[in-house]
Structure 1
């Protein structure tokens, strides 16, 4: 199967509304859906975003998640992909993330129901299960943690719960959970890694020998398409590249696509955990005015093994990765992504 070949299974959407269309995942979803012949209306909150989605072949609808005209913009759409989210992994951002990720999701899905949308996919994340401890081979029935790793995990878990709870006959809602999205057109993970190496801020955590699941962006798009066609309302599905990989080995190869070599410098995991805890306390005490160099959210995402199983997606959706890691890495060498991401802590991106 090629990257843009339509997935087998149920009926493709006749017309789809997409939030977050100008973002990394959204851009690739537009490319995939347009290639599949699906008309896409993409929410765009700025003139620049309007230009991006229009140039990719989508019809822009200018507004934001709380626009009272959202249902009007979704008129005639039978499917929705909600990809917009605030992905800040810092501390002291609880109120903003709750508004965008939780209330924004509630508002978008309510508008979709009014508009007559019948199937919705929420772009969720494995972070809904993170609490700072290793997550090893997790399946979708793994319980949400009592103490989420940070505001991002907490807000995305709340958004996922409310979205799946809204699912009912005629308005089916599914969640797709990728881990460590990477690949072509990457403006997140790889740019952050590259900037950290160039600035001298990069270090391996305890040598970086722990495992991680990864998700090439084309595989995420495949999972979304299959969830729209074959997914069961009220269910979540992990989507990854398949077998986990050692983080150090994969990050080394990612950086090599940009002509970069990571240093051998390493930092103890225990030290970073302490720094992250202190940073979160400072942010809480100061109301977010003081932010440490590391948060518990970043630590949980980057410093321990996080691996998940795609058995459910394979069985229920008919999912299989359409791009291997080897193919994705080769693609990056031939067409390097723009490196305009931010710097950050001395470690990895989610």
Structure 2
């Protein structure tokens, strides 16, 4: 029986991954930094392993005898202190790498993101050769790029590292993107930046997990792979349908991109200088992720991993529309 150790198992992607691995017959342990996390990973089917990303010894214990470590944990908020992003995305990743080496784990699969290439310009038909942007002015984007660079540099010496990058992960269990969109619409805060008619790639949760499993089980995987739902769609159409699964209709209200960028930069500056509580009403990361075209070429995953999205967008939307 194959053994996996999962970080971030109480989250959206990590929880879905645990359920898939257990269904496939894997024995799964998952990092749990709290009683709540322990309950969540237990319900998903994993054995909880106490610890957090700061504790290399605990990580190495959890990874003991594992065939694969899946690193799904990350600091994904659109606003936070620099040290929070560095700790959650960079130092945490390096600690997982060190734990893999101490435990003699042969393979590590890291959950990456197209945001690691994002620095304020559209990403059109990008592939695995598109440069990472650790210099991005978005802390989330820059630290995810730093984390991936660390994973790539760790490849070798008995440890094979692979990065799988889904774009805009959605589906049942999402506690971040869809709830935030629904709340913004209901409170009258939602605006289409630039009209929202640009193209976007998307990745249903089961498709993202499928890519992770393929990367873990491939005989000789490459360093990184993009996985998506297939051909891109119009952002406005996708988001409208996504929110519509919750019985919500988005009004036709727009905001010019230049205004959105100015407000985001000004808001971030005010929050940093004045140390205001909570999050700014809009951040540059939010503007980039929602207003810039992002289309992804998945031919490398198709050709080298045999990746085909097992769930269509139509099937995913139907799953979201169905009662739990």
Counterpart for residue 137 of structure 1 = 125
1:136–1:197 Cα change, 3 Å: same
Which ranges of structure 1 fall in alignment gaps of 5 or more residues? 1-12, 337-350
Task: State whether residues 133 and 145 of structure 2, in contact with CA within 8 Å, keep that contact through their aligned partners in structure 1.
Answer: no
In structure 2, what is the equivalent of residue 165 of structure 1? 153
Identify the structure with bigger relative contact order (alpha carbons < 8 Å, sequence gap 6+): 1
**1-structure distance, mates of 2:134, 2:70:** 28
Query: Which residue among 100, 122, 137 is the counterpart of 2:88?
Result: 100
Q: Is the 8 A contact 1:25 1:83 kept in 2?
A: yes
1:71 equivalent in alignment to 2:65: no
Whether the aligned pair in 1 keeps the contact of 2:134 and 2:143 (CA below 8 Å) is no
- Tell me, which stretches of 5 or more residues in structure 2 are unaligned? none
Alignment of 1:101-116 (within 5 A): 101-116=89-104
Tell me which residue corresponds to 2:297: 309
What are the superposed Cα offsets for residues 17-67 of structure 1, whole Å, 9 maximum, x if unpaired?
000000011110011000100110000111111111111211111111122
**Paired residue for 1:55, among 28, 43, 52?**
43
1:289-308 correspondence to structure 2 within 5 Å: 292-308=280-296
Q: CA deviation at 1:282?
A: 3.1
What's the counterpart of residue 344 of structure 1?
A: none
Within 5 A, what are the aligned runs for 1:156-235? 156-230=144-218, 232=220, 235=223
Query: Mean Cα displacement is larger for which, 214-223 or 180-189?
Result: 180-189
What corresponds to 1:328 in structure 2?
316
Among candidates 152, 161, 184, match of residue 140 of structure 2: 152
- What corresponds to 1:44 in structure 2? 32
Q: Which residue is equivalent to 1:261?
A: 249
| Contact 2:5/2:66, CA 8 A, preserved across alignment | yes
Runs of 4 or more off by more than 6 Å in structure 1?
287-290
Alignment equivalent of 1:34, drawn from 15, 22, 39: 22
CA–CA distance in structure 2, aligned partners of residues 269 and 56 of structure 1: 41
Do the aligned partners of residues 334 and 289 (structure 1) sit closer, same or farther apart at CA in structure 2, a change above 3 Å counting?
closer
Structure 2 residue 82 is the aligned partner of structure 1 residue 88: no
Matched residues in 2 for 1:206 and 1:36: separation? 44
Q: 1:146 to 1:41 in 2, by over 3 A?
A: closer
Query: Any idea what SS the aligned residue of 1:73 has?
Result: helix
Root mean square deviation of aligned Cα: 1.7
Cα deviation, residue 72, structure 1: 1.7
Of 31-40 and 142-151, deviating more is: 142-151
Answering whether residue 274 of structure 2 is matched by residue 275 of structure 1, we say no
- Contact 1:172–1:234 under 8 Å retained in 2: no
Deviations 1:255-277 (A, max 9, x none): 11111111111111110011122
| TM superposition shift of 1:290 | 8.5
The alignment's TM-score, normalised by the length of structure 2, stands at: 0.95
- The 3-state SS of whatever aligns with 1:208 is coil
Q: What's the TM-score, normalizing by structure 1?
A: 0.88
Deviations 1:168-209, CA, capped at 9 Å, x for gaps? 152100111111100122212111111111111111112211
